[in-house]
């Protein structure tokens, strides 16, 4: 079996520098050179032919030589003379009977090498034999494709063919090939001249008689021939530019063949083109040089097109990958440079070193099990590929593990006095909270260590829950970390994601510890009452694990996967409504409620804290402004009635912003005055004897804007002249002019200017200019409540408030008794109204058995304000009183407010929010309050200033309220 190593002999080095055909006219690449030879001797070419061709025979005869087929047996004069001299050496032209070697893939062109594999032992032996006999020639003929088979199939069947069958399968025209070497079954051939099979001589191996073919004669000066040949050359040259492989061919070919002639150009082009075997065979068979050139031109043009496409494909792909490759290469180079300079060892080592460096100082404090995990992960890191995703996961994990403050605690403050000072510095009042913190410190001092606790601060917005948390941290000398859990529904926020997830992060607590860098911070968990309901897992349970002192010594974060000790963390939670906190959580908390502030407390907070802080924040000096008590009071009463002080803070900020603008504007007007003062010429003119009037007159002339009146300007300048004699400062500036002096003078100027600016006064009369019209109108609608209207006390998340219960008849008639309710009442409140109706009817029956009011009257009970939803049972007693007032046509006592749930048996049950309700009652100028007896303790605990001026009655039966309300006053205490 024959097997060609390559597509054609093209793998073998051929080719040459092809010189320009007309060098003077066309100084082109030296790669392709002249197809001349029309004026050169054939012998000259022979010298250049293949090295093994010892006889110098030339398969490509020079142009102009005889082009007719050489008949078998016919011998040229040259051959005769040669054989006469060296009769033992067979010349190519003497080979008229040759072994036919089938070529499966491509024909062999004269001047080209072709290695083939001869698998048929008999054929191989015959070739070896022939080589030994000094006749190293064979006929190489292209195998025709059998119908329906192609390529490898043709090769497969080749050795089954013998004799005639094989002959029929061979193309008639082939090449006389010299056997240059035989190694094993590899036979290397070099093509000499064209042959045509005439008849079969023997069957196995197939031996045939051949005619030697020569090109038809052609005119070497024919223009068309020249032009075609040039075109082939120029196309070849173009292709050579893009393909280095072709260049090699050309070089080697000319080394062996010598200069190009027209037929050689055609052969060369066809041989190195990638054309299929039939097209090549066509070129081989063509003896007309012009036609052969044209055929070749077609092939090389096609080759050109292919090479263009190849180039564009290569370019596109190169562009695509070159960006990434470039980055990769640059990165690698950078790494190498850094490594060389000792700036960085390789990634993994540097990372490990970084982690170890972090660990070393705290190694003793890290729990053993954590150390073990860290070591394992460090080993894993070394084994992983730096570009793998697993590497990144491990690196991040180690980053977190090593960054946590294992066993690192801030030195706690156990000094109660110092702590009290800090707490008082930041907040007014809040005695309960402060006391609790001081107790905590005291216990810590006695025990020697403090322990984690959960404190829950509850109260309306803006009462300072969050800010006292920060202040507690400061008092205890702990690091402060705050996170809000309002609306939090993902357990992963608290407990972290498992490491297997992409973008996994530890939970908030681990983030907190990394952030603060100590294991005993104060963590403020804001809005715990607004904790979301989780869709995957229950955040409340996760919070429980986090907060519970029993469990959190071994808190397990999903990401970290090693237990961490949170028992030293002090948790402070804040909530607006304690009832909304999940019960198991609430159970573990120590709730401290901050009810809100009364006017008096707000005054203190505003004066001593908010105003001070705001003034500093606005860059205003105390002497530049005065906000009177009456202004603050008006602000609190008419603008900021809510329980907290956040709104009050906003209003104060508003005032100070306006003041700042006013001061800056004034300063801008005063400045030109000061400038005017420092004109040396003018100073000289004044020379110490300037009268006040003169200065005033001058300023008047310069500050023409109407917004500063004459008197103001005058007085400002007067102050200027009195405080700093005009002939001193300006003269020093004018004369010395050193930078120090200038700075000094500038400073003096500034302070003078500040002094000149008039102090801004804010009092109740001009408060409107700063904060606009009052937003609140008195909660109190009635001076004296009319029949059917009674004031109740309510509690909301915003603090306490007063509310009215109004009842009016709709229609009367036998058996028409009914009750309509309005005012956005909730279910509980509606039920409360039904109970009140029943109880009121029973009481009326007792007091006035003849009165059929409730039986015959359709009533309407309304609770303003209608837009606010209301609920709760604590308005029960107020509703009964309102119904009775209407039924008896008797108004209730003036300035009376009440609260309390009533049962059907007229018992009064306790209510919540005593402090808020008391504060609200005082705000509405209520004089007498009725509370359930069960709330007496709550009331007694209130600060004296909150209780001041109130007449409070504690009742446990409605009869007592009846007496209080309708004038039959008794001592209910
Ligand atoms: N007793 C006080 N003394 C001084 N400043 C106070 C006092 N109470 C509240 N403040 C100030 O009021 C502002 C609002 O307080 P903070 O934000 O702590 O309210 P909060 O109760 O946490 O509100 P929310 O429930 O809306 O979170 C803060 O600037 C705080 O300093």
- Whether the pLDDT of residue 524 is over 90: the answer is yes
Choose, from 20, 130, 593, 874, the residue flagged as catalytic.
874
The per-residue DSSP string of 799-844 comes to EEEEEEEEEEEEEE-TT--EEEEESSB-HHHHHHHHHHHHHHHHHH
393 is in an annotated binding site: no
- Whether the pLDDT of residue 84 is over 70: the answer is no
Q: Which pLDDT value is given to residue 669?
A: 61
Q: Is 736 marked active-site?
A: no
Q: Rounded distance, CA 17 to CA 15, Å?
A: 7
Q: Which pLDDT value is given to residue 22?
A: 30
pTM of the model: 0.53
Say whether the ipTM exceeds 0.90: yes
Q: Which pLDDT value is given to residue 708?
A: 35
Q: Mean per-residue pLDDT for 148-171?
A: 69
Q: Mean per-residue pLDDT for 368-394?
A: 84
484 CA → ligand 1 middle, Å: 16
649 CA → ligand 1 middle, Å: 9
462 is in an annotated binding site: yes
Q: Which pLDDT value is given to residue 318?
A: 81
Q: Is 846 exposed, middle or buried (0-12, 13-18, 19+ CB in 10 A)?
A: exposed
| In 104-148, beta strands by DSSP E | 113-117, 137-142
Q: Which pLDDT value is given to residue 778?
A: 58
Ligand 1, residue 469: give the atom nearest the CA. 18
Q: Rounded distance, CA 10 to CA 92, Å?
A: 23
Choose, from 214, 917, 924, 933, the residue flagged as catalytic.
917
Extract the tokens encoding 920: 């609200």
**CATH number at 600-762:** 1.10.8.60
- Whether the pLDDT of residue 743 is over 60: the answer is no
Q: How confident is the model at residue 697 (pLDDT cuts 50, 70, 90)?
A: very low
Q: Mean per-residue pLDDT for 951-956?
A: 90
CATH architecture of 416-593: 3-Layer(aba) Sandwich (3.40)
Q: Which pLDDT value is given to residue 57?
A: 38
Residue 764 CB contacts under 8 Å (≥ 6 apart), including other chains:
628, 630, 631, 633, 634
Q: Could you tell me which residue, 59 or 520, shows the higher pLDDT?
A: 520
Q: Which of 430, 467, 527, 650 to mutate to test the pocket of ligand 1 (most atoms within 8 A of CB)?
A: 467
Q: Mean per-residue pLDDT for 410-425?
A: 87
Q: Is 874 marked active-site?
A: yes
- Whether the pLDDT of residue 453 is over 80: the answer is no
- Whether the pLDDT of residue 82 is over 50: the answer is no
606 CA → ligand 1 middle, Å: 12
pLDDT in tens, 619-632: 888 888 888 888 88
Q: How confident is the model at residue 231 (pLDDT cuts 50, 70, 90)?
A: confident
Q: Mean per-residue pLDDT for 231-257?
A: 72
Taking CA atoms only, the protein residue closest to ligand 1 atom 19 is 462
Q: Which pLDDT value is given to residue 287?
A: 85
Cis omega (within 30 of 0) on the bond before 853? no
Taking CA atoms only, the protein residue closest to ligand 1 atom 5 is 427
Extract the tokens encoding 479: 């690091």
Averaging pLDDT over each range in 270-284, 346-360, 601-615, 636-650, which range is the top one? 601-615
- Whether the pLDDT of residue 154 is over 70: the answer is no
197 CA → ligand 1 middle, Å: 113
- Whether the pLDDT of residue 379 is over 80: the answer is yes
Q: Which pLDDT value is given to residue 244?
A: 67
Residue 811 CB contacts under 8 Å (≥ 6 apart), including other chains:
857, 858
Ligand 1, residue 467: give the atom nearest the CA. 18
Q: Which pLDDT value is given to residue 80?
A: 37
Q: Mean per-residue pLDDT for 572-581?
A: 88
- Whether the pLDDT of residue 55 is over 50: the answer is no
Please state which of the ranges 158-172, 199-213, 340-354, 487-501 shows the lowest mean pLDDT: 340-354
- Whether the pLDDT of residue 150 is over 50: the answer is yes
Q: Give the start-to-end residue ranges of the domains of the chain.
A: 3-292, 347-403, 416-593, 600-762, 789-965
Domain 3-292 has CATH 2.30.130.40: yes
Q: Which pLDDT value is given to residue 574?
A: 92
Q: What are the C-alpha distances in Å from 649 to residues 46, 462, 611, 613, 828?
A: 110, 9, 8, 10, 36
Q: Which pLDDT value is given to residue 592?
A: 87
465 is in an annotated binding site: yes
**pLDDT above 90 coverage of the chain, percent:** 5
CB 2 within 8 A of CB 102: yes
pLDDT in tens, 705-723: 333 333 333 333 333 333 3
Q: Which pLDDT value is given to residue 68?
A: 35
Residue 656 CB contacts under 8 Å (≥ 6 apart), including other chains:
611, 614, 615, 617, 618, 620, 625
Q: Rounded distance, CA 580 to CA 54, Å?
A: 110
Q: What CATH topology corresponds to 789-965? A: Ribosomal Protein S5; domain 2 (3.30.230)
- Whether the pLDDT of residue 677 is over 60: the answer is no
pLDDT in tens, 874-910: 889 999 999 999 988 888 887 889 999 999 998 999 8
Q: How confident is the model at residue 798 (pLDDT cuts 50, 70, 90)?
A: low
Q: Could you tell me which residue, 714 or 810, shows the higher pLDDT?
A: 810
**Any idea which residue has 């009215």 for tokens?**
804
Residue 177 CB contacts under 8 Å (≥ 6 apart), including other chains:
101, 108, 114, 137, 138, 139, 140, 189, 190, 191, 192
Q: Mean per-residue pLDDT for 800-829?
A: 87
Q: How confident is the model at residue 76 (pLDDT cuts 50, 70, 90)?
A: very low
CB 193 within 8 A of CB 94: no
- Whether the pLDDT of residue 4 is over 70: the answer is no
Q: Mean per-residue pLDDT for 232-247?
A: 76
Q: 71-101 burial string, b = 16+ CB within 10 Å, else e?
A: eeeebeeebeebbeeeeeebbbbbbbbbbbb
Choose among 409, 400, 411, 410: nearest CA to 358. 400
Please state which of the ranges 225-239, 457-471, 663-677, 846-860 shows the lowest mean pLDDT: 663-677
Phi-psi region of 558 (alpha: psi -120 to 50; beta: other; left: phi over 0): alpha
Return mean pLDDT, the chain: 75
């Amino acid at each position: 079996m024959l097997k060609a190593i390559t597509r054609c002999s093209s793998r073998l080095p051929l080719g040459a520098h092809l010189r320009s055909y007309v060098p003077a006219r066309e100084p082109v690449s030296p790669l392709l050179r002249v197809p001349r030879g029309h004026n050169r001797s054939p012998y000259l070419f022979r010298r250049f032919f293949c090295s093994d061709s010892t006889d110098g025979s030339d398969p490509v005869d020079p142009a102009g030589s005889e082009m007719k087929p050489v008949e078998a047996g016919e011998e040229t004069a040259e051959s005769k003379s040669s054989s006469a001299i060296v009769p033992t050496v067979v010349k190519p032209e003497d080979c008229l009977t040759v072994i036919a070697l089938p070529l499966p893939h491509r024909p062999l062109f004269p001047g080209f090498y072709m290695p083939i594999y001869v698998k048929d032992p008999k054929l191989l032996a015959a070739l070896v034999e022939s080589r030994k006999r000094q006749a190293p020639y064979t006929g190489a003929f292209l195998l025709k494709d059998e119908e329906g088979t192609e390529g490898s199939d043709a090769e497969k069947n080749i050795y089954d063919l013998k004799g005639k069958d094989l002959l029929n399968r061979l193309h008639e025209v082939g090449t006389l090939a010299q056997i240059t070497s035989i190694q094993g079954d590899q036979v290397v051939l070099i093509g000499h001249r064209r042959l045509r099979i005439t008849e079969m001589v023997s069957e196995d191996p197939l031996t045939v008689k051949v005619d030697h073919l020569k090109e038809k004669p052609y005119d070497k000066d024919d223009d068309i021939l020249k032009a075609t040949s040039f075109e082939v050359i120029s196309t070849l040259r173009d292709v050579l530019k893009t393909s280095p492989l072709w260049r090699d061919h050309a070089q080697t070919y000319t080394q062996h063949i010598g200069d190009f002639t027209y037929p050689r150009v055609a052969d060369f082009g066809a041989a190195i083109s990638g054309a299929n075997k039939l097209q090549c065979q066509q070129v081989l068979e063509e003896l007309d040089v012009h036609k052969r050139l044209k055929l070749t031109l077609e092939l090389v043009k096609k080759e050109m097109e292919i090479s263009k496409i190849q180039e564009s494909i290569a370019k596109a792909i190169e562009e695509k990958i070159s960006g990434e490759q470039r980055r990769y290469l640059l990165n690698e180079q950078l790494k190498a440079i850094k490594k060389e300079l000792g700036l960085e060892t390789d990634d993994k080592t540097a990372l490990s070193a970084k982690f170890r460096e972090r660990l070393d100082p705290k190694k003793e404090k890290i729990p053993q099990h954590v150390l073990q995990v860290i070591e394992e992960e460090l080993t894993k890191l070394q084994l992983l590929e730096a570009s793998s995703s697993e590497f990144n996961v491990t690196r991040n994990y180690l980053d977190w593990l090593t960054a946590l403050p294992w066993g690192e605690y801030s030195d706690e403050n156990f000094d109660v006095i110092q702590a009290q000072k800090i707490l008082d510095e930041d907040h007014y009042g809040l005695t309960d909270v402060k006391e609790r913190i001081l107790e905590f410190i005291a216990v810590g001092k006695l025990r020697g260590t403090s322990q984690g606790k959960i404190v829950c601060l509850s109260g309306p917005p803006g009462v300072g829950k969050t800010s006292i948390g920060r202040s507690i941290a400061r008092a205890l000398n702990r690091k402060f970390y705050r996170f809000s859990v309002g609306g939090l529904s993902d357990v992963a926020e608290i407990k972290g994601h498992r490491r297997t997830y992409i973008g996994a992060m530890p939970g908030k607590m681990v983030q907190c510890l990394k952030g603060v860098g100590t294991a005993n911070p104060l963590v403020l968990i804001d809005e715990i009452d607004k904790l979301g309901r989780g869709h995957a897992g229950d955040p409340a349970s996760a919070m429980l694990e986090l907060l519970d002192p029993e469990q959190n010594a071994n808190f397990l974060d999903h990401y970290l996967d090693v237990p961490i000790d949170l028992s030293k963390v002090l948790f402070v939670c804040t909530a607006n409504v304690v009832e909304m906190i999940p019960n198991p959580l609430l159970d573990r908390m120590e709730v401290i409620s901050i009810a809100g502030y009364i006017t008096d407390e707000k005054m203190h907070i505003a004066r001593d804290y908010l105003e001070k802080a705001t003034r500093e924040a606005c860059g205003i000096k105390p002497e530049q402004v005065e906000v009177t008590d009456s202004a603050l009071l008006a602000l609190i009463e008419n603008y900021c009635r809510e329980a907290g002080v956040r709104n009050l803070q906003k209003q104060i900020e508003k005032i100070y912003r306006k003041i700042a603008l006013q001061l800056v504007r004034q300063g801008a007007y005063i400045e030109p005055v000061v400038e005017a003062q420092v004109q040396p010429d003018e100073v000289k003119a004044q020379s110490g004897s300037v009268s006040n009037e003169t200065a005033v007159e001058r300023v008047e002339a310069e500050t023409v804007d109407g917004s500063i009146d004459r008197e103001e300007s005058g007085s400002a300048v007067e102050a200027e002249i009195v405080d700093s004699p005009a002939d001193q400062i300006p003269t020093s500036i004018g004369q010395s002019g050193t930078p120090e002096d200038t700075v000094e003078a500038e400073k003096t100027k500034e302070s003078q200017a500040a002094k000149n600016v008039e102090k801004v006064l804010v009092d109740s009369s001009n408060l409107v200019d700063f904060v606009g019209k009052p937003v609140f109108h008195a909660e109190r609608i009635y001076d004296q409540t009319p029949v059917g209207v009674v004031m109740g006390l309510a509690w909301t998340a915003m603090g306490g408030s007063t509310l009215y219960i109004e009842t009016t008849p709709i229609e009367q008639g036998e058996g028409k008794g009914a009750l309509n309710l309005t005012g956005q009442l909730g279910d509980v409140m509606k039920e409360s109204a039904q109970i009140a109706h029943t109880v009121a009817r029973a009481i009326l029956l007792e007091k006035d058995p003849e009165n059929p009011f409730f039986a015959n009257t359709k009533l309407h009970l309304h609770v303003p304000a209608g837009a606010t939803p209301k609920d709760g049972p604590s308005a029960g007693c107020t509703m009964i009183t309102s119904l009775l007032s209407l039924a008896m046509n008797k108004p209730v006592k003036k300035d009376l407010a009440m609260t309390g749930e009533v049962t059907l048996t007229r018992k009064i049950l306790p209510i919540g929010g005593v402090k808020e309700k008391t504060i609200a009652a005082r705000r509405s100028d209520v004089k007498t309050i009725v509370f359930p007896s069960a709330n007496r303790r709550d009331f007694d605990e209130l600060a004296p200033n909150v209780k001041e001026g109130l007449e409070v009655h504690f009742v446990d039966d409605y009869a007592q309220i009846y007496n209080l309300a309708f004038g039959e006053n008794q001592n209910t205490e």
